[in-house]
A and B are shown apart, each in its own frame.
Chain A
């Protein structure tokens, strides 16, 4: 681009997002040099070992929905892109591309994460669950079934991420209150404004057991 650099008005050219996607850009093709962080999984990279990756594609293994998958990807590829473009699991959506809307939420070892903010190479050694791993149209997870019964979806584009956030919250606390569900889904944006029915769905997705029964009573009172 033939922009005049002396002009003070030059629009910003780098974003947090492009920085995260990092190396691999044509203009400055540099690899990633990684040192195992303290909390990393021993299996993927032993302590003190320096791993040099990219910029060219590299072979990695991910555990998705309980099955191992081998991928040939550039280190800059996000977990979201790996899931969608390389593994063809398109239930997980991209909407904001910077961790602000929750549409790309998946579970990493049971915890909800925004997969657009995680590099695929950093997901090695973790158990990844996507919306497809939760249930299927003919065999829905209780949270998915509750979403359908309460009409907790409209256009449906935020729905997979919303379902993943609610499922993780109920996994943490099967007797979650509406307030806890509001906080658990606070990072999920729905432009159709379908939140009230999402809260109703969460209350309906009762797990068996004493805590769940208490919630069922509350749900019945709310209805």
Chain B
């Protein structure tokens, strides 16, 4: 049962009517110019008071009666075979309740899990680890990507090659495109391994029932349901017998999907000890073992014709995610700029280092950095303004409009036409383009409940990675029910609620809000049926607005929402909604652009970012306040990638040399530039809310814009991130 609706979609000055077929019980998607009461208004985060007062309970804060503290012993060697593990001394230490040797006897990176203990205090657990005797047969190892590709390099995986998956793509004729070009450039760009550095490390509290057939796990995760499913498989339990809870999550950034080793270890220790066990990783383990953004080496060739139009884009890339894969960075080369001849080659190289995991827009920040700096090198060679060069090579009307908004806000023309200072301090500006496709997926279901006291509850099995999920779900339900946001409470982070998808890939907002809106609409229908006889009207003639339920054509015939709730039979009334598949809306991609200004001290090589202007579209913005926070965060993580962050491996020891928060440099308060964010509203009609995710698109272009600005400031490109003082001085020939 479906109906056809015609929607006016698009953006300011560029809208069109699009006809879509939607299920009968689905609310009509919000259109361009839709007048909404709470959606789009800045709303303070609903769980802000809990977080600001320390009352929010993270996994790290869970304490259960009789709970033990677990700790994991990790290999100090990057490549070894375990001959024997002697647990006896640890088992005999007073206060130790469980000790296990893990099964994997092949060690492939320093930091790999070897054994685990549970004891009555975390200090005692650490003491017990020191008593475990492991007999390692050490082996030759390789942590350097170049060396790993050599014929005589130690093999990370037995006899197999260290060259993993290679993927290639080709459209048009790149050699021909380079041949006909008026100008070509070729350069190689490199990016470092970046680690996630979630402030709350990975960890879990696990508890089995006495019979051992029901498992409850509190864990710091981006996907309560994916952890549940993994645990059910691992312990051969029906999924319904496993409950996963994550009320608050201290950062994830892509590293916290599924039942990662420490979650399984916590559950195994809990089963062995017969009491709940908590395992929270120390900071060093978090850096070494829980994931990272792979490094990259990208050889880029570009060709342009006399009009400044790209004739060829060629990328040969390799990267190492340690013992993991997924190091590719070609995606931006294939789609950000228009070109008929594009060829890419990506290659994963294995090294004896911790496995990669997805990290905020996997592959894109490194790809964008190389592509955008190459674009600037080409613009300089061809003698074209860098923004104009990008304008000529985009066919995306959203991005074209965003360039103009950003350029005005930033003062691009003034800043690029003023002469460079003759002093040691050089200013420079850069611009880079973003792209993402955060339209979300079908699958999530939501429940919305009205209680007799007039309060409303939203329940979804999603989780809040820090983006404000509770807040936007409450806003959407409040909008549909005509209520102020503070009347709605969001409950999330528990597999007892209806299914939802992991919070990653910018999926949460576009996948969950439509389910909540549909559930709220269903609930509204039920409340209309209660109110209709009292108002002497048909349910279909009613509307919910301004905290009341009233006759649409005669708003004076009205009942307060709370008064309707008083007539609910029983304690409450509830309704469900589902996230239906995407409609053919306006566009499924997101553009976005960022402008950066830097100050480079050519005597010390120190780079300071002074100003960033970001223009982003994410369909309909539900809460501009929390949305702005996400963009600020994307930019600052990009500044870290551009200037500071670098996981360093010791080639002699095969260990990470900076697994701390002082030696691994992160951007801090003193590194924050002025940041101006503009949201470019697009009505996309893809779902009933038209919301798109924002977390990743806001991070894609940030490092690239900074690198381009440094090039502008000093006149020489620094082609390796992070742009440290020594690299700046080397580029200037002063090192």
Instruction: Point out residues on A near B: beta carbons under 8 Å.
Output: 1-3, 9-11, 21, 24-27, 74, 76-77, 81, 84-85, 88-98, 100-101, 103, 130-132, 134-138, 140, 144-145, 147-160, 163, 181-183, 185-199
Contact = CB atoms under 8 A, between A and B. Distances in A.
Contacts of B251: 155, 157, 191-192
B629 interface: yes
A76 B126 CA distance: 13
A18 B61 CA distance: 23
B121 interface: yes
B54 A131 contact: yes
A136 to B, nearest CB: 6
B93 interface: yes
Interface in B34-50: 44-45, 47-50
26 contacts: A1-B134, A26-B93, A90-B60, A95-B283, A95-B661, A97-B283, A98-B660, A132-B53, A137-B55, A140-B52, A151-B45, A153-B51, A154-B466, A154-B629, A154-B633, A155-B199, A157-B250, A157-B251, A160-B52, A188-B668, A189-B661, A190-B199, A191-B251, A193-B633, A195-B632, A197-B628
A91 B672 contact: no
Counting chain B residues whose Cβ lies within 8 A of the other chain, the interface size class is: 35 or more
B679 interface: no
B531 interface: no
Interface stretch (B181-189, B399-407, B634-642): B634-642
A-B pairs, 9 with minimum CB distance: A91-B54, A193-B636, A157-B250, A155-B466, A156-B51, A148-B48, A193-B633, A131-B54, A90-B61
B53 A156 contact: no
B191 to A, nearest CB: 19
Nearest to A90: B61
Interface in B3-18: none
Given A186-B670, A193-B636, A101 B199 contact: yes
Contacts of A152: 52
Contacts of B44: 148-149, 151
Given A11-B653, A183-B670, 13 more contacts: A1-B133, A2-B134, A26-B93, A84-B61, A91-B53, A96-B283, A137-B55, A144-B52, A151-B626, A157-B199, A191-B199, A194-B632, A199-B669
Contacts of A91: 53-55
A132 B48 contact: no
A134 to B, nearest CB: 7
B484 interface: no
Contact of A144 (B49, B63, B122, B134): B49
Contacts of A100: 660-662
B594 to A, nearest CB: 14
A188 B668 CA distance: 7
B114 to A, nearest CB: 10
Contacts of A195: 632, 636, 668-669, 672
B514 to A, nearest CB: 23
Contacts of B131: 26
Given A95-B661, A158-B199, A196-B672, A131 B249 contact: no
B672 A90 contact: no
Given A147-B48, A154-B466, A156-B466, A11 B110 contact: yes
B208 interface: no
